[in-house]
Amino acid sequence: MENLEIWDKEYVWHPFTQMQQYRNEETPIIERGEGSYLFDTKGRKYLDGISSLWVTTHGHCCREINEAIQAQLNKISHSTLLGLANVPSILLAKKLVEITPQGLTKVFYSDSGATAVEIALKIAFQYWCQARGEENKEKQKFVYLDNSYHGDTVGSVSVGGIDLFHRLYKPLLFDGYKVPSPYCYRCPMGKEKGSCGMACLEPLEELLAARGREIASLIIEPLVQGAAGMITSPPGYLKRVREICTSYNVLMIADEVAVGFGRTGKMFACEEEGVSPDIMCLAKGITGGYLPLGATLTTDEIFEAFLGSHEEQKTFYHGHTYTGNPLAGAAALANLEIFDKKQVITGLQPKIELLTKGLATFYALPWVGEIRQKGMMIGIELVQNKAAKEPFPFALNIGHRVTLEARKRGLITRPLGNVIVLMPILSMSEEELTEVLDITYTSIKTVCADIVGKGLITG
C-alpha cells in the first residue's frame, strides 16, 4: 500500500488535472465507500460532496444494486446488442420510456454522457439529411449555448461553449451557432435579473428565424449548465426554448446527463416546465454511480425515419462494443427500483429546503458573490469584490484552495474555477448535509481570509 501514491504519480494521468500541481500535493487514494462516505488507504473518512462526480444516487456500496449486479454476473456479464438482444437492456428501455417525458419512445444505448450526446447529434443530422427529403438536406448545423458543456468527444466538444475547455481544439471541430446563456449574475445582455424579459432568448429566435432552414437541432442542458458553474436558468426559459424550436422546425436535444435522476428535485429537469424534447441524453446517475452507461431517447417520428429496405441504407451506422451491457442494465434497473420503492424524489424536498436555508447564511461572507441552487445542485461563486462582482484572479486558483481545505476537514468536493460545486448524494441524511454546508462555509472563510491576510487581494 505504501507504494500506491508513488505509482499513482508515476503512471496515472488524471482527467482535468494539472499533473505538475497534482504531483506536489498529497492526494487521498480511495479504497472503499459506504453510504455517504469515502475511505482512503490511510483510514481517513470523507463525506462525498460531489457524488463521485455527480453519479452516486443511493450511496456507496448500496445493497440492492450490489445484489442486482451479482445476480446478473452469475448469468452473463456481456453480450453484444449488434443484432442480438439481452434481458436487462429490454427491461431498462421499457422503464426509461415509462418515466421520461411523453413522446420519447425509443432508446439507443452507449457508455457515457459524451457518447449519448454524440449519438444525438448524429441522429439529428441523419434525420434531416437522409430521411426527411431533399428540401431538408441543408439542415446540417447545430445551435448551442455559451457556457455549455456536453462532453469531450469531438462532436460534443463542437457544441461546447466553455473556452477554457474547448478553444484549443477548435481546428478539429465542426462549425455551429452559439447563442447567449441565461447567466443572470453576469448577464450577457447587460440586463438586470428579474426585469430583463429573458432578453437572452432574443438572439436565439432571431437566429432560427434567419437560419432555421440550415439548422438541424439545438442542444441544451435543461435548467442548469453544470460544468459552467451551476448556471441556473430563470423560470420559463426552458419552455420558451422548446416553443422557439417547434416554431422554426428545429429539433430540441435535452442533455440531461448531469441534471437527470433527481438532481434538480424532479426525476428529470424537463419535468419542471412540462417540456418534451425530441431527443434526450442520459448517463451519470442512471446506474446509481456503479457502471458506465449512456442512453439516447428519441420519438417514434425520428426512429421511423431510419426504417427502410436494406438497399436504401437508412440504417443508423453507429454503435459501441459495450452498448446495452447487461451488468450496467441490471444496475440501472435496481437504481430505478429504489427511486420507486423509497419515494426518493418526494423525500428530497425537505433536504432541498434545508440546503436552501443553510446556503443563505453564506452571503455573510464577503467573498460569496452568488449562490446558485436547483434542487441538489449547488454552485457558490466566489469573488474578490462583491459589489463589483470582480472575480478572483485565475492564477490564485481559489476554488482548488478551498477544495484542499475542505478535504482536510473531511469533505470531498471539486471546484469549477471560482465556483465551489456541491452535488451531494441523494440519500445523504439531513445531518450529513448540514455537515457538508458547515465544512464548506468554514473552508471558504479560512482560505479567503488567509489570502487577504497575505495581501494577495484587498480585503
What is the DSSP annotation of 212-224?
Answer: GGGEEEEEE-SSE
Q: What is the chain's percent helix, strand, coil content, to nearest 5?
A: 45, 20, 40
Is residue 79 within 8 Å of residue 326, measured between CB atoms? yes
Relative to beta strand 419-422, strand 141-145 is unpaired
CA distances from 111 to 69, 116, 177, 328, 331 (A): 17, 8, 27, 9, 13
> Looking at this protein, which amino acid is placed at residue 160?
G
Point out the residues of the chain with pLDDT beneath 50: none
Which ranges constitute the DSSP H helices of 282-429?
300-304, 326-341, 344-360, 398-408
User: In the prediction, which pLDDT does 189 show?
Assistant: 87
User: In the prediction, which pLDDT does 459 show?
Assistant: 62
CATH of 66-341 among 3.40.50.720, 3.40.50.620, 3.40.640.10, 3.40.50.2300: 3.40.640.10
User: In the prediction, which pLDDT does 1 show?
Assistant: 65
pTM: 0.96
Task: Classify residue 345 by burial, with Cβ atoms within 10 Å: 0-12, 13-18, 19+.
Answer: middle
Residue with cell 435496481: 334
Relative to beta strand 368-374, strand 377-385 is antiparallel
User: In the prediction, which pLDDT does 197 show?
Assistant: 85
Task: Classify residue 319 by burial, with Cβ atoms within 10 Å: 0-12, 13-18, 19+.
Answer: middle
- Give the whole-angstrom CA distance, residue 424 versus residue 89: 28
Question: What is the architecture, at CATH level 2, of domain 4-58+344-453?
Answer: Alpha-Beta Complex (3.90)
Q: Using the 8-state DSSP alphabet, how is residue 44 labeled? A: -
Classify 385 as helix, strand or coil.
strand
Tell me the domain boundaries of the chain: 4-58+344-453, 66-341
